[in-house]
Chain A
Amino acid sequence: MLNYTLRRIAIAVPTLFIIATAAFFLMRSAPGGPFDAEADLEPEVLENIRAAYDLDKPLPTQYALYLQRALGGDFGPSLVYKDFGVTELIGIGLPVSARLGLTAMALAVLVGGLAGIVAALRQNRFLDHAVMALAMTGIAVPSFVIAPVLALVFGLYLKLLPIAGWDDGAWRNMVLPVVALALPQVAIIARLTRGGMLEVLRSNFVRTARARGIAESRVVLRHVLPSAVIPLVGYLGPAIAGIMTGSLVIELIFNLPGVGRYFVQGALNRDYPLVMGIVIVYATFIITLNLLSDLAYAALDPRIRKGYR
């Protein structure tokens, strides 16, 4: 296990470094400087601006400086939101995105897991087909279609919930974005859980447990569930990545002041430091959580770390 852990960390750390490097050089290879649009600046003024953003130094120096500061959590100034540092902007957006994402994640695991368990226990009956049809819908219809439709139905027609805005995280404002964000993951988790359950339900140790006359509820709770949820643990990392990318559009649609909206705005406005900073922060999250999820998976299922996948 220690060996496996070290091997995984040995991949994660260079990955982050590569991401930071790739992001930096891609951004710097962009045609046109960020201040081209400013009309007729005096040459001295332009020089001063370039110096303030370190753009007058040679590229390798800029890169070293950037990495050094990024390690300390400073991603430089934003080019569009003047007077704001990238770190500051991320600090403003992160609580919103985190709250949104974590709630969606909890909802997805809870609802998806339950739906998958129920479907597996009623295999090939109505409930199973219903759950799987819904899951198929959740996978087939992207969240950027579901979200506006939810807003239309519950916001505009039924007038039950606000269609946009954050309002400091009032629950009424969170319902629609959280549901829209969670739905695709609910669908995937339901499918995964059902698959895991079915495999375990057919296994010999479950047959044995039943043969010993143990009550079905106890068989399911004590024997089936613990093994059936293992694949789910391995999926938590990718699920979080999915929710993080999903939140870009959801924050845009519901006009929420999260990191995702800054990222999209930054990309549209070519605010390179902002986009780079967010990519690095999100990548760190995703890689760390992926790592944790994989390690937990390996700890639960020894076949993984021994390479029998």
Chain B
Amino acid sequence: MSATGPGIAQSPVVGAALRGEAPQSLWRQAARRFRKNRAAMGSVVVLAVIAVTSVLVPLLWPHGIEDASWEAILVAPTLENWHWFGTDANGRDLFVRVFYGGRVSLTIGLLTTVVALSIGVTYGALAGFTGGRTDNFMMRFVDVLYSMPLLFFIIILVTVFGRNIYLVFVAIGCIEWLTMSRIVRGQTLAVKTKEYVESAVAIGLSRGEILRRYIIPNVLGPVVVYVTLLIPTNIVVESYLSFIGLGVQEPLTSWGLLISQGAGQLDTAPWLIFFPATFLAVTMFCFNFIGDGLRDALDPSNR
């Protein structure tokens, strides 16, 4: 990046026009910038590998996640007998459990984010687009929820309604939509005054149609960035719950639960915490790099 900023001929749109090429859409330009970001692209590859192996390993591995073996209790990582990551106190193979846990953790991260995304985008766009007193009321409501210690509420919910994986999904999703709604509302307020929205109003499109076709697509940039940061947050929230014993329950497992079990046997079997913690941390890094990469790609002025 030159310090003075690009000249007008270097601007992709004008530059392309000068060279006689068709101008690229903002998203195409962003995609090109993103592909140049090595940390982000590397993270995409690593994440894809983790995701694919999480699906495949439990299907193909010679050990099942619950196969306990009395001959192989707390075996250190070894190439023998396919215990690459060692075994736990019940003689269960850690390799298959780490990938199975990855499946659960990633699924929870994605699904809770989908819940948060749907609620947050709808709510924020509605508030921002409607404006006036409704907007004011809706955002005050978000303010109220925002100042609550929400993790404590997830814990109460889980305490009361039992430790159920679906409840964990819904609870996390229902709570993490707040920031999303604020972002979307702010963007909507900015987009709503644009001419193309005015013209949509002028030709008599319904409010829902305008929201769906003009507002939501145009506020997606920051939302995409936030989503890549929300997925790891939700994975950590789930791990946190599982760690204190309120999240995923045996025989299911997740990275958080594996870490919690490993933390109890740190001195005798450090590999039990090492592998799940490494996978969790690498996943966190990847999502963070992708989030940063997307932010830079979608909004290069902030670099």
Mark A residues whose CB is within 8 Å of B.
11-12, 14-15, 18-19, 22-23, 26-27, 29-31, 136-137, 139-142, 144-145, 147-149, 151-152, 156, 241, 244-245, 248-249, 252-253, 263-264, 267-268, 270, 272, 275-276, 279, 282-283, 286-287, 290-291
CB–CB B263/A144 < 8 A: yes
Docked CA distance A248–B127 (Å): 35
**Residues 235-277 of B at the A interface (beta carbon under 8 Å):** 236, 239-240, 243-246, 256, 259-260, 262-263, 266-267, 270, 273, 277
Docked-complex contact B149 and A245, CB < 8 angstroms: yes
In the complex, what distance in Å separates the CA atom of A137 from the CA atom of B280?
Answer: 12
B284: chain A residues within 8 A (beta carbon): 139-142
Verify if B79 is at the interface (C-beta below 8 Å from A).
no
Residue from the list A23, A137, A142 in contact with B236, Cβ < 8 A: A142
What residues of A have a CB within 8 angstroms of the CB of B84 in the complex? none
Q: Which residue of A lies closest to B157 (CB)?
A: A26
Q: Are A29 and B147 in contact, CB atoms less than 8 angstroms apart?
A: no
- In the complex, the answer to whether A19 meets B159 with C-beta atoms within 8 Å is no
Chain B residues with a Cβ under 8 A of chain A: 140, 143-144, 147-149, 151-153, 155-162, 232, 236, 239-240, 243-246, 256, 259-260, 262-263, 266-267, 270, 273, 277, 280-281, 284-285, 288
CB contact between B159 and one of A139, A241, A270 (< 8 Å): that residue: A270
| Also in contact, A253 and B263, with CB within 8 A (given A139-B288, A140-B288) | yes
The answer to whether A27 and B160 touch (CB under 8 A), given A140-B284, A148-B266, A282-B152, is yes
Q: Are B273 and A145 in contact (CB under 8 A)?
A: yes
Other 6 A-B pairs with CB < 8 A, given A30-B159, A268-B246? A11-B140, A18-B148, A140-B284, A142-B240, A145-B273, A267-B156
Question: In whole Å, how far is A127's beta carbon from the nearest beta carbon of chain B?
Answer: 19
Q: List 16 A-B contacts (CB under 8 A).
A: A22-B153, A26-B156, A26-B157, A26-B160, A27-B159, A30-B161, A140-B281, A141-B281, A142-B240, A144-B259, A145-B280, A149-B277, A252-B244, A268-B244, A275-B155, A291-B147
A287 to B149, CA, bound (A): 8
Across the interface, B147 reaches (CB within 8 A) one of A15, A151, A245, namely A15
Residues of B within 8 A of A267 (CB): 155-156, 158-159, 244, 246
Contact at B148–A283, with CB atoms within 8 Å? Answer: yes
Interface majority SS (helix, strand, loop, mixed), chain A: helix
Separation in Å of the A212 CB from the closest CB of chain B?
Answer: 23
Partner of A27, one of B156, B162, B240, B270: B156
The residues of A that contact B277 with a CB separation of less than 8 Å are 141, 145, 149
Interchain CA distance A137-B240 in the complex, whole Å: 17
Closest 4 CB pairs of A and B: A140-B284, A148-B263, A30-B160, A145-B277
A283 to B155 Cα, complex, angstroms = 14
**Residue of chain B at shortest CB distance from A22:** B153
Which B residues are in CB contact (< 8 Å) with A15?
Answer: 144, 147-148
| Cβ–Cβ < 8 Å partners of A287 in chain B | 147-148
Given known contacts A15-B148, A244-B149, A249-B240, A275 and B159 CB-to-CB distance under 8 angstroms: yes
Q: Min CB distance, B38 to chain A, in Å?
A: 14
B147, B273, B285: which contacts A11 (Cβ < 8 A)? B147
Quick one: closest B residue to A139, CB to CB?
A: B288
Residue from A19, A267, A272, A275 whose CB has the most chain B CB atoms within 10 Å: A267
Asked if A279 contacts B140 (CB within 8 A), the reply is no
B302, chain A: closest CB distance, angstroms: 10
A291 CB to closest chain B CB (Å) equals 8
Question: How far is it, in angstroms, between the C-alpha of A104 and the C-alpha of B151 when the chains are bound?
Answer: 20
**Would you give the shortest CB distance from B289 to chain A, in whole angstroms?**
8
Instruction: Please name all residues of chain A whose beta carbon is closer than 8 Å to the beta carbon of B162 when the two chains form the complex.
Output: 31
- In the complex, the answer to whether A148 meets B244 with C-beta atoms within 8 Å is no
Chain B neighbourhood of A23, CB < 8 A? 156
- CA–CA, A141 to B235, complex, Å? 12
**Min CB–CB distance A280 → chain B (angstroms):** 10
Whether A29 lies near B160 (C-beta < 8 A) is yes
Alpha-carbon distance between A295 and B242 when the two chains are bound, in angstroms? 36
Distance A11 CA – B243 CA, assembled complex (angstroms): 33
Nearest residue (CB) in B for A284 is: B149
A275 touches B239 (CB 8 A): no
The answer to whether A144 touches B161 (Cβ under 8 A) is no
| Given contacts A152-B270, A253-B263, A264-B245, A279 and B280 within 8 Å (CB-CB) | no
**Is B149 in contact with A282, judged by CB distance below 8 angstroms?**
yes
What is the CA–CA distance of A145 and B260 in the complex, to the nearest angstrom?
A: 9
Cβ 8 A contact of A19, one of B148, B151, B273, B281: B148
CB of A72, distance to nearest CB on chain B (Å): 22
Residues of chain B with a CB closer than 8 A to A30's CB: 159-161
Contact of A268 among B236, B239, B245 (CB under 8 A): B245
Complex contacts, A14 vs chain B, CB 8 Å: 144
Given that A139-B288, A270-B159 are contacting pairs, would A11 and B152 also be in contact in the complex, using a CB cutoff of 8 Å?
Answer: no
> Once bound together, how far apart are the Cα atoms of A287 and B150, in whole Å?
12
Q: How far is the CB of B241 from chain A (nearest CB, A)?
A: 10
On chain A, the residues within 8 Å of B156 by CB distance are: 23, 26-27, 267, 275-276, 279
Q: How far is the CB of B21 from chain A (nearest CB, A)?
A: 33
Q: Does A140 lie within 8 Å of B285, measured CB to CB? A: yes
**Interchain CB contact under 8 A, B243 and A279:** no
Looking at the assembled complex, report how far the CB atom of B274 sits from the nearest CB atom of chain A, in whole angstroms. Answer: 9
Once the chains bind, are B144 and A11 in contact (CB under 8 Å)? yes
Q: Within the complex, what minimum Cβ distance (angstroms) separates A247 from chain B?
A: 12
For the complex formed, measure the closest distance between the CB of A231 and the CB atoms of chain B, giving whole angstroms.
15
